[in-house]
């Protein structure tokens, strides 16, 4: 579903992402982990076709993001850390607009249960300015899921959500994966990733440090017989001695 | 307080450093040069020249100084009264959100915060002083520039202190249960009592002013001088005179003599402000948040305030069909109720009877002709001003460029869709103007009667060409946004100052030039077709067909431009513009 080969992104002379390769299959949830400035958001933005990769190839459901961007974008949804909404469109108008852009003929049948699931059904006539940050996040998610994407990218999806919202979001992510979507989540909340991810990719300085199924990675970084948790894996992989207890 | 002074000082220094560093980039350097030249030719040139020529000093004769002082004093009085009548909220000082977060929880006294606020406002006052001094020099004034500058500084600083003090007093009154309307009533009654006093006194002592006297400026001036310089008025205006007098000083010695009373007034205000112990924090936090939002919106190119009320959709958007229509729908909602279908129906209903009246009046009446020419003038201006005012396109959405980039749309679809809303609004306005002009211009001076068939033919021709002209005129600023995104204020730290003025001037001149160039092929097409058909005597048909031809040429140009812009947007690398 998601194939990345030699992805490199340069900002002038600064290397944000360097020769990154990985794949995510249908039903897999990949946790993208790394310290600040590791290139996680840049990677996701390249995958979503928002910024062009300097080098390398990205295929979404078989469509090359650089060569067939429209076909690739139809298959994906990208949720940035900060919900990006139009100030002057209400919740309902956002969904109507998104439906037309993605050509979803029966969008109302999809939108209603989605809004119920995300608990924004009673906010349909409100503007983003009248919503809390969590509600804005939910609206962005409702818009993103309206066209039933097969590939989903989350950049810090739990920021601003309350505990109930976090639980619902986790279930929602896992449900999407169970339904066959390939999901990538970038987050610093390692315990969350441990709960929802099947695979993990740790990056630092734009380079891949580890990539593989979560269990394998845990086992690989286990110091003795017991498997390491993702936090320990992260610290050992990124080799930050000051972070060690 | 030293820490706060340090904060303000470093803010100014760092801002200057960033500006200077930015000049290494050609776009800022060129903008800076053009902006500098503009300011030089518009302000400084006159100022410096006047400085070398003492004869061109501030043009107020000794006879008029008293009168001008009285006028200035009255103006100041009105401003001060308004500060007591209009505001309704509690005292709130504008801080940046960072200042609120750092300073409000810090162990800093309220008085120190007020001092910091006064220090900050001095930056704005000094800048305004500079600008006003230059403007005085630009418009025939001048004289000793330092006197004018200091004069402005005293007036603005005292006013600033008074606004602050009155807001504190207002809050104290509110805390004591004296509401806004009670305060307004008392102030209004005092003003009314004083006005009656002046009126009664002037009625008894000053020769009455007849309506005929108003046509004679010197009589009217004399009357105003008598009312404001004798009787009760001078007593009320006295403190205001003290504040404005230094500005009108003719030399340094007179200035110094007039300065100290003004400084005393200022000092009294200062002590009034710093000794007031009014809780302004809560209201300041809210005000600062609103100001930050507004500044962020303006800097990101969105000149409209954040909408407070949801707006209805202009039409029902079906979930399938051209995606460009979705962008039109979205941007029309963004344009607000001003451009809803209901507004257009109301406009049309109110204009049609007017059109009927004009077209039936006929003859050589001047009114309809003037209205007709006025409409045509507004229409021409709309090509230049319209795209600047109606920004419901890429310029509005550029801060959300990443969202647009993620949409599964071709670049040309996005560009076309983004341009549709302002083009539709502009066209609607212009069509109404065309209808009024066609109905009004029944007679043209030097030509004579204009028959209905001529007016219909020309009106039809204009109506055909206008949408394409609008599309072209809107493509230019949108193309500039995509081609030179760094020249536009797309982020919170958008360009400001002289270099930004220069950039805007360059873009404006560029827009005029490109628009004129785009007109050339259409004008040629029009001329060829019109010449050919009118050769066979079909002038009216020629106008219509030539207009369709010109419109087609413009449509082809617009199509090519939209396609090219679409390609540019597809390749637009947001990361390199960050």
Q: What is the pLDDT of residues B164-214, one digit of tens each?
A: 888 888 888 888 888 888 888 898 899 899 888 888 887 777 767 666 666
Residues A127 and A158 in one domain: no
Identify any residues that bridge with A184 across adjacent strands, giving them in sequence order. A30, A153
Residues A109 and A174 in one domain: no
**A155: helix, coil or strand?**
strand
Residues A237 and A160 in one domain: yes
Put simply, whether B308 touches A (Cβ < 8 Å) is yes
Residues A220 and A234 in one domain: yes
Q: How far is B24 from chain A (nearest CA, A)?
A: 17
Angle between helix B233-244 and helix B145-175 axes, rounded to 10 deg: 120
The per-residue pLDDT for B87 is 81
Residues of chain B contacting A87 with CB distance shorter than 8 Å: 302, 306-307, 334
pTM above 0.80, yes or no: no
The per-residue pLDDT for B281 is 75
Would the CB atoms of B405 and A51 count as touching at under 8 Å? yes
Interface test with B, best of A47, A50, A146, A150 (most B CBs within 10 A): A50
Max avg pLDDT among A162-166, B49-53, B235-239, B265-269: B265-269
**Residue B11: which pLDDT band, with cuts at 50, 70 and 90?**
confident
Tell me the average pLDDT across A128-143. 89
Residue A93 belongs to some domain of the structure = yes
pLDDT at B343 exceeding the cut of 60? yes
Is the pLDDT higher at B141 or at A92? Answer: A92
**Residue A19: which pLDDT band, with cuts at 50, 70 and 90?**
very high
A-B C-beta contacts closer than 8 Å:
96
Q: Tokens for B184?
A: 């307004």
End-of-domain residue from the set A148, A165, A189: A148
End-of-domain residue from the set A131, A148, A165: A148
The per-residue pLDDT for A233 is 80
**B106: helix, coil or strand?**
coil
**Residue B303: which pLDDT band, with cuts at 50, 70 and 90?**
low
**B528: helix, coil or strand?**
helix
In 3D space, the residue among B79, B80, B81 whose CA is nearest the CA of residue B188 turns out to be B81
The pLDDT mean for chain B works out to 82
Would the CB atoms of B574 and A51 count as touching at under 8 Å? yes
Report the chain B residue with the minimal C-alpha distance to residue A72.
B408
B391-425 as b/e: b if 16+ CB within 10 A: bbbbbbbbbebbbbbbbbbbbbbbbbbbbbbbbbb
Residue of A9, A52, A84 with shortest CB distance to B402 = A84
The pLDDT mean for chain A works out to 88
Alpha helices (H) in chain A, listed in sequence order: 40-47, 69-74, 91-102, 107-117, 133-145, 163-178, 190-196, 214-220, 230-238
| Spatial separation of the C-alpha atoms in residues B556 and A115, rounded to whole Å | 44
In 3D space, the residue among A173, A182, A195, A194 whose CA is nearest the CA of residue A117 turns out to be A173
Residue A184 belongs to some domain of the structure = yes
Residues of chain A contacting B317 with CB distance shorter than 8 Å: 96-97, 100
Tell me the average pLDDT across B534-563. 91
Cβ distance B119 to B274 under 8 Å?
Answer: no
**Residue B267: which pLDDT band, with cuts at 50, 70 and 90?**
very high
Residue A80 belongs to some domain of the structure = no
Tell me the average pLDDT across A3-31. 91
Angle between helix B366-389 and helix B411-440 axes, rounded to 10 deg: 170
| Spatial separation of the C-alpha atoms in residues B538 and B395, rounded to whole Å | 44
Q: How far is A236 from chain B (nearest CA, A)?
A: 31
**Residue B220, H or E segment:** helix B217-229
Residues of chain A contacting B569 with CB distance shorter than 8 Å: none
Residue of A42, A103, A126 with shortest CB distance to B320 = A103
pLDDT at B66 exceeding the cut of 90? no
The per-residue pLDDT for B298 is 60
Residue A33 belongs to some domain of the structure = yes
Interface test with A, best of B327, B332, B394, B406 (most A CBs within 10 A): B406
pLDDT at B48 exceeding the cut of 70? no
Residues A171 and A238 in one domain: yes
The per-residue pLDDT for A153 is 94
The per-residue pLDDT for B55 is 46
List residues of chain A with CB under 8 Å from any CB of chain B: 9, 11, 16, 42, 45, 48-52, 69-71, 73-74, 78, 80, 84, 86-90, 93, 96-97, 99-107, 125-127, 129
pLDDT at B415 exceeding the cut of 50? yes
Is the pLDDT higher at B261 or at B501? Answer: B261
**Residue B378: which pLDDT band, with cuts at 50, 70 and 90?**
very high
Residues A144 and A217 in one domain: no
Would the CB atoms of A96 and B306 count as touching at under 8 Å? no
Is the pLDDT higher at A34 or at B482? Answer: A34
Interval B530-545: pLDDT, tens: 999 888 878 888 999 9
Residue A219 belongs to some domain of the structure = yes
In this structure, of A237-241, B144-148, B204-208, B253-257, the range with the lowest mean pLDDT score is: A237-241
Identify any residues that bridge with B448 across adjacent strands, giving them in sequence order. B444
Quick one: B548 exposed, middle or buried, by C-beta within 10 A (0-12, 13-18, 19+)? middle
Q: Tokens for A71?
A: 């076909």
Residues A108 and A215 in one domain: no
Tell me the average pLDDT across A178-185. 93
End-of-domain residue from the set A148, A181, A201: A148
Residues A224 and A157 in one domain: yes
| Spatial separation of the C-alpha atoms in residues B488 and B397, rounded to whole Å | 12
Residues A56 and A168 in one domain: yes
pLDDT at B45 exceeding the cut of 80? no
Cβ distance B78 to B236 under 8 Å?
Answer: no
Would the CB atoms of B406 and A9 count as touching at under 8 Å? no
Quick one: B148 exposed, middle or buried, by C-beta within 10 A (0-12, 13-18, 19+)? buried
Interface test with B, best of A10, A101, A109 (most B CBs within 10 A): A101
In 3D space, the residue among B459, B452, B456, B454 whose CA is nearest the CA of residue B431 turns out to be B459
Residues ≥6 apart with Cβ < 8 Å to B445: B369
Residues of chain A contacting B409 with CB distance shorter than 8 Å: 70, 101
The dihedral formed by the CA atoms of A21, A24, A25 and A31, expressed in degrees to the nearest 10: 150
In this structure, of B166-180, B275-289, B365-379, the range with the lowest mean pLDDT score is: B275-289
Is the pLDDT higher at B227 or at B408? Answer: B408
Residues A53 and A155 in one domain: yes
| Spatial separation of the C-alpha atoms in residues A118 and B439, rounded to whole Å | 57
The per-residue pLDDT for A72 is 93
Interval B418-475: pLDDT, tens: 999 999 999 999 998 998 888 888 877 777 788 888 888 899 999 999 999 999 999 9
In this structure, of B33-42, B134-143, B284-293, the range with the lowest mean pLDDT score is: B134-143
Q: How far is B328 from chain A (nearest CA, A)?
A: 10
The per-residue pLDDT for B558 is 94
Tell me the average pLDDT across B149-160. 92
Exposure of A93 in the CB half-sphere (CA atoms within 13 A): 26
Interval A39-89: pLDDT, tens: 999 999 999 988 889 999 999 999 999 899 999 999 999 998 888 899 889
Is the pLDDT higher at B405 or at B216? Answer: B405
Range of the domain at A109: 85-148
The per-residue pLDDT for B353 is 78
| Spatial separation of the C-alpha atoms in residues B548 and B457, rounded to whole Å | 12
Residue A180 belongs to some domain of the structure = yes
Residues of chain A contacting B320 with CB distance shorter than 8 Å: 100, 103, 105
The per-residue pLDDT for B54 is 46
The per-residue pLDDT for A99 is 94
Residues A49 and A128 in one domain: no
| Spatial separation of the C-alpha atoms in residues B397 and B373, rounded to whole Å | 36
Would the CB atoms of B403 and A84 count as touching at under 8 Å? yes
Residue A236 belongs to some domain of the structure = yes
Domains held by chain A: number:
2
Question: 């960050």: which residue's tokens?
Answer: B578
Interval B468-521: pLDDT, tens: 999 999 998 888 888 776 666 544 445 566 777 777 788 788 888 988 999 999
Angle between helix B539-571 and helix B411-440 axes, rounded to 10 deg: 150
Tell me the average pLDDT across B405-417. 92
Put simply, whether B320 touches A (Cβ < 8 Å) is yes
Residues of chain A contacting B403 with CB distance shorter than 8 Å: 84
Q: What are phi and psi of A30, to 5 degrees?
A: -100, 125
* Domain at A188, CATH number: 3.40.50.300
Residues A61 and A178 in one domain: yes
């Amino acid at each position: 579903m998601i194939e990345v080969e030699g992805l490199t992104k340069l900002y002038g002379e600064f290397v944000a992402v360097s020769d990154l390769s990985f794949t995510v299959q249908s039903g897999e949830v990949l946790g993208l982990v790394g310290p600040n400035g590791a290139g996680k958001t840049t990677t996701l933005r390249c995958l979503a076709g928002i910024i062009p990769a300097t080098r390398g190839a990205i295929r979404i459901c078989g469509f090359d993001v650089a060569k067939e961007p429209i076909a690739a974008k139809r298959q994906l949804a990208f949720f940035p850390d900060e919900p990006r909404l139009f100030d002057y469109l209400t919740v309902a108008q956002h969904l109507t607009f998104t439906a037309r852009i993605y050509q979803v003929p029966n969008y109302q049948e999809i939108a209603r249960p989605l809004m119920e699931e995300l608990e924004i059904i009673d906010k349909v006539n409100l503007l983003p300015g009248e919503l809390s940050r969590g509600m804005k996040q939910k609206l962005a998610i409702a818009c993103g899921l309206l066209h039933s994407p097969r590939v989903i990218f989350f950049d810090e999806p739990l920021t601003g959500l309350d505990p109930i919202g976090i639980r619902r979001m986790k279930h929602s992510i896992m449900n999407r994966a169970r339904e066959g979507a390939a999901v990538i989540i970038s987050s610093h909340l390692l315990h969350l990733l441990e709960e929802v991810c099947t695979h993990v990719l740790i990056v630092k300085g734009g380079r891949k440090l580890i990539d593989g199924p979560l269990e394998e990675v845990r086992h690989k970084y286990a110091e003795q017989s017991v498997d390491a948790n993702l936090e320990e894996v992260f610290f050992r992989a990124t080799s930050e001695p000051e972070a060690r207890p | 307080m030293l820490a706060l002074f340090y904060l303000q000082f470093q803010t100014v220094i760092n801002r200057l450093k960033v500006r200077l560093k930015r000049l290494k980039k050609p776009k800022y350097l060129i903008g800076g040069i053009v902006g500098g030249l503009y300011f030089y030719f518009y302000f400084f040139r006159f100022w410096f020249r006047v400085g070398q020529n003492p004869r061109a000093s501030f043009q107020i004769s000794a006879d008029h100084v008293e009168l001008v002082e009285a006028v200035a004093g009255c103006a100041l009085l009105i401003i001060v009264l308004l500060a007591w009548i209009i505001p309704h909220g509690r005292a709130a000082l504008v801080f940046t959100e960072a200042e609120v977060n750092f300073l409000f929880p810090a162990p800093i006294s309220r008085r120190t915060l007020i001092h910091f606020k006064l220090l900050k406002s001095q930056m704005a006052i000094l800048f305004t002083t500079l600008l006003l001094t230059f403007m005085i020099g630009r418009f025939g004034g001048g004289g000793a520039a330092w006197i004018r500058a200091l004069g402005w500084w005293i007036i603005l600083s005292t006013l600033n202190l008074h606004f602050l003090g009155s807001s504190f007093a207002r809050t104290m009154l509110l805390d004591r249960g004296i509401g806004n309307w009670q305060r307004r009533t008392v102030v209004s009654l005092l003003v009314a009592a004083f006005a009656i006093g002046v009126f009664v006194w002037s009625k008894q002592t000053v020769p009455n002013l007849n309506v005929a006297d108003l046509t004679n400026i010197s009589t009217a001036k004399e009357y105003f001088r008598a009312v404001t310089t004798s009787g009760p008025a001078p007593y009320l205006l006295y403190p205001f005179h003290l504040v404005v007098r230094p500005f009108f000083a003719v030399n340094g010695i007179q200035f110094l003599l007039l300065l100290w009373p003004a400084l005393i007034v200022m000092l009294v205000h200062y002590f009034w402000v710093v000794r007031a112990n009014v809780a302004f924090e809560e209201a300041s936090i809210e005000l600062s948040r609103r100001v930050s939002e507004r500044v962020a919106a303006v800097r990101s190119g969105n000149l409209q305030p954040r909408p407070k009320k949801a707006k209805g959709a202009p039409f029902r958007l079906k979930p399938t069909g051209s995606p460009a229509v979705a962008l039109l729908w979205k941007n029309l909602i963004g344009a607000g109720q001003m451009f809803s279908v209901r507004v257009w129906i109301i406009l049309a209903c109110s204009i049609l009877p007017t059109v009927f009246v004009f077209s039936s009046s006929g003859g050589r009446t001047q009114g309809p002709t003037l209205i007709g020419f006025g409409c045509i003038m507004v229409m021409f201006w709309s090509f230049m001003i319209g795209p600047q005012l109606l920004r419901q396109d890429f310029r509005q959405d550029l801060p959300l460029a990443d969202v647009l980039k993620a949409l599964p749309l071709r670049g040309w679809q996005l560009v076309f869709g983004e341009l549709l809303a302002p083009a539709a609004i502009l066209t609607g306005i212009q069509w109404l103007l065309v209808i009024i002009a066609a109905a009004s211009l029944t007679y043209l001076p030097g030509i004579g009667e204009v028959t209905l068939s001529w007016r219909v033919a020309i009106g039809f021709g204009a109506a055909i060409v206008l949408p394409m002209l609008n599309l072209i005129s809107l493509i230019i600023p949108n193309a500039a946004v995509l081609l030179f995104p760094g020249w536009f204020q797309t982020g919170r730290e958008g360009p400001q100052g002289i270099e930004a003025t220069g950039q805007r001037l360059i873009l404006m001149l560029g827009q005029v030039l490109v628009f004129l160039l785009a007109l050339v092929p259409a004008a040629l097409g029009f001329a060829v077709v019109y010449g050919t058909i009118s050769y066979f005597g079909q002038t009216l048909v020629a106008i219509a067909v030539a207009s369709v031809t010109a419109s087609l040429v413009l449509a082809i140009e617009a199509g090519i431009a939209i396609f090219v812009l679409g390609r540019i947007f597809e390749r637009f690398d947001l990361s390199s513009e960050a």
